[in-house]
Structure 1
Amino acid sequence: MSSSTVVILDFGAQYTQLIARRVREFNVFSVVLPCTAQLEEIRALNPVGVVLSGGPSSVYDADAPKADPAVLGLGLPVLGICYGMQFMAHHLGGRVEPADKREYGDAVATVAVENRLFAGLPRELQVWMSHGDSVIDLPEGFVVAATSHSALASIADETRRMYAVQWHPEVAHSKQGTELLRNFVFEICGAKADWTSEAFIESTVARIREQVGPDGHAICGLSGGVDSAVAAVLVARAIGDRLTCIFVNNGVLRKNEFEQVQRNMREKLGLNVVAVDASKRFLSQLGGITDPETKRKIIGREFIAVFDDEAAKILRGQEKAGEVAHDVGGKEVAWLVQGTLYPDVIESSSVKGPSQTIKSHHNVGGLPENMKLKLIEPLRDLFKDEVRRFGADLGMPQEVLERQPFPGPGLAVRIVGEVTPERVSILQNADEIVVNEIKKAGLYREIWQSFAVLLPVKSVGVMGDQRTYAYTCAIRAVHSGDGMTADWVPLPYEVLRTISSRIVNEVRGINRVVYDVTSKPPGTIEWE
């Protein structure tokens, strides 16, 4: 994929993924590994450098995230960030102690000793701090490279190419952070900027072709969104007509989506699509369920069950939907293609480090252990903006690529509480109004996600001189770059007014509309 890889060891910081993104923005491939990764796993990636992330712990905590100190002796350039700096100092013979005063927020770091990490940067750096411990005594061979008003801000051993900063250069608040990381990646690690769309597409297609083999067949769980569509196009490029895309109506799609997605995928992308209406099957399983995680698990389980059923039909050389023969030459169906992204993986499990699980996604945390199909997830290590960029280079139309993200569990996680056919219909009608008005205002492409949420809250209203007692609808619109963090969008009042008026007047069952002004964190983008 790339001749240069930077490994980032995750100690549980909420900003670890930002480090990976910054490195990739230089067209250098980066991979995040848990801090507990074995040396053999790190060496196998043949990295040009290692970054030690920040983290919420103290190096002296009994449950502090542990990494093999031998990673510091691999002979590779190392950059420690915040906790990473303390880990480096502690394990190389220095001393770390709790600071007299926690240093948090904007600060100024003054460069004390020029080195390659600070090449071309001003002597005073605008930085963002977040630490309670500080390095007190330096390890042998290190010098103080920068100071702040209350702590050592940077240490360095240029002979061993080991550098550390107490601040977070990956966040936007650190004004020269991007330049500092660029110095580490190129000037110190000697990386090559060769992780491009062309290289990714070429290597991914080759890997898929090898995985599936010359006779294997794959099916793709197609949702109609950007992720599954790009995944399907990549796999189709690798194995051609041995890919069958299955689009399932799970009963919680948006209004008219079942028909629209089929047209887009067949006509605009030329994919072989089998449509399966399993809405009754899903809704019957969701009846009476209110717990968000349980809903996600049910949808994940039923998706796989449907895929298994369809794979069996293909294996028999028949596809009975519409009574149309679907012969794939009797080849074995062994692979399931999914458009899983990196944020899905991060929020669904702690496999990338000791960070806490937020919630599972149907295509990650909801997969049953006894699944019959083997997974192909060509986008698993990508962020959403990278997927869109690579999709454009695959020649995919902007209409598909610019579609706002839609959760795998569909409207089930936008209906707080029990999912019923009546509530699905109510939310479908409300959501259609939100999307239409956002598009009419010319805001659809500017906003990461904009949608309606149906709340299990009823309130009294007055319509036509009559008392009503109906549901509350929440409107959600957020800006984001990758879904890991998000800020709520200050929609124009006139747009909000129109949306509210239309929903209350046109959607039977809703008499009150509210606007969600919560960012992520502390909230999540979806309500469940």
Structure 2
Amino acid sequence: MKPFLHLSIRHHDEAVTGEFDAIQRFGRLREGQLVHLRAEQAPLPPLNPDDYSGIIIGGGQFNASDEVKTAEQLRVEDDLGRILDLALAEGLPLIGLCYGVGLVTRHLGGVVDGTYSETTSAVEITLTPDGKNDPVFDGVPSTFMAFVGHKEACTQMPDGAVQLASGTACPVQAFRVNEHVYATQFHPELDLDGLIHRMEVYRHSGYFPADEFDELVEVARGAGVDGTPGIILRNFVERFAR
């Protein structure tokens, strides 16, 4: 099997490792079946789409809708935009987790802003009719709980995008472009342990009030998030592995 490529943009080594391990576990990928590049550390090299089964873009500290951007952020956006263009042109499967919504939406002409931001929490996700029929969401219940935490969200999907899931506070929780490019606002790679670890890393990064950490952890423990969101990663891998 050709490996899947994990592209991370996180500055914190612990968060990068946790994200990689979670994607590998939920995707049921063995050693060597998931490889890794850190987009925030250096320009991404040209990619040959024939080398990979697909690409998984993780979340991170950048927001596509930021009014002021560092040179690093602009370079990462350009690199990932190039990867997205490659995926669309060559039929290379791609899924973006959380930050992927902002990346795909903005790059393809939709609108992403802070209207529907969500603090670190568990929310109910509801599949649309298209989501219920999408093979990457096969076996996922019509409604399920998942973890979120984002400062921006999609307010208008790109032309031609197909909405797959919605939420109460954030209307667009997942969509697809063509038949092989996906974006989720919620985190399919996060279970309770993964969330707590990530909250510890980002405790002072503005995703939630730092002094509410213990309270938010206790709420998360009782929120009913199980391994259901991870089915999406498993399905993505099984559908597109080659």
- Structure 1's 163 and 100: CA in aligned 2 closer, same or farther, altered over 3 A? closer
- Identity between Structure 1 and Structure 2 (%): 23
**1:320-399 equivalent positions in 2, closer than 5 A:** none
> Is 1:17 aligned to residue 17 of structure 2?
no
> Is 1:155 aligned to residue 175 of structure 2?
yes
Matched residue, 1:81: 97
**1:152-191 equivalent positions in 2, closer than 5 A:** 152-157=172-177, 159-173=178-192, 174-175=225-226, 176-187=228-239, 189-191=240-242
Deviation (angstroms), 1:39:
4.7
**1:276-355 equivalent positions in 2, closer than 5 A:** none
Matched residue, 1:91: 107
**Residue identity matched to 1:82:** C
**Residue identity matched to 1:95:** V
Which structure would you say has the larger Rg? 1
Higher normalized contact order (CA 8 Å, seq sep 6+, divided by chain length): 2
Give TM-score, length-normalised by structure 1: 0.33
Deviation (angstroms), 1:32:
1.5
**Residue identity matched to 2:60:** G
**1:506-517 equivalent positions in 2, closer than 5 A:** none
Deviation (angstroms), 1:101:
4.8
> Is 1:50 aligned to residue 101 of structure 2?
no
Contact preservation (8 Å) 2:125, 2:143: yes
- Structure 1's 37 and 160: CA in aligned 2 closer, same or farther, altered over 3 A? farther
**Residue identity matched to 2:188:** P
- Larger displacement relative to structure 2 (99-108 or 72-81): 99-108
After superposition, give the CA deviation of every residue in 1:34-89 in whole Å (9 maximum; x if it has no partner): 2255352x328801100111012211330234334121122211101001221111
After superposition, give the CA deviation of every residue in 1:303-350 in whole Å (9 maximum; x if it has no partner): xxxxxxxxxxxxxxxxxxxxxxxxxxxxxxxxxxxxxxxxxxxxxxxx
Contact preservation (8 Å) 2:94, 2:181: yes
Runs of 4+ aligned residues of structure 1 deviating over 6 Å after TM superposition are none
Contact preservation (8 Å) 1:6, 1:48: yes
RMSD across aligned C-alpha pairs, in angstroms? Answer: 2.2
- Structure 1's 95 and 44: CA in aligned 2 closer, same or farther, altered over 3 A? closer
- Structure 1's 180 and 101: CA in aligned 2 closer, same or farther, altered over 3 A? closer
Deviation (angstroms), 1:94:
1.1
**Residue identity matched to 2:241:** G
In structure 1, C-alpha distance between the alignment counterparts of 2:127 and 2:116, rounded to whole Å: 22
After superposition, give the CA deviation of every residue in 1:447-500 in whole Å (9 maximum; x if it has no partner): xxxxxxxxxxxxxxxxxxxxxxxxxxxxxxxxxxxxxxxxxxxxxxxxxxxxxx
**Residue identity matched to 1:103:** T
Give the 3-state SS of the residue equivalent to 2:152 in structure 1.
strand
Matched residue, 1:139: 158
Matched residue, 1:270: none
In structure 1, C-alpha distance between the alignment counterparts of 2:106 and 2:22, rounded to whole Å: 22
After superposition, give the CA deviation of every residue in 1:234-258 in whole Å (9 maximum; x if it has no partner): xxxxxxxxxxxxxxxxxxxxxxxxx
Give TM-score, length-normalised by structure 2: 0.69
In structure 1, C-alpha distance between the alignment counterparts of 2:118 and 2:165, rounded to whole Å: 18
- How many residues are matched? 186
- Structure 1's 122 and 57: CA in aligned 2 closer, same or farther, altered over 3 A? same
Contact preservation (8 Å) 1:18, 1:171: no
Structure 2 unpaired stretches of 5+: 193-224
Structure 1 unpaired stretches of 5+: 192-528
Matched residue, 1:126: 145
In structure 1, C-alpha distance between the alignment counterparts of 2:27 and 2:118, rounded to whole Å: 32
Deviation (angstroms), 1:25:
3.4
- Structure 1's 101 and 23: CA in aligned 2 closer, same or farther, altered over 3 A? closer
**Residue identity matched to 1:21:** Q
Deviation (angstroms), 1:20:
4.2
> Is 1:69 aligned to residue 94 of structure 2?
no
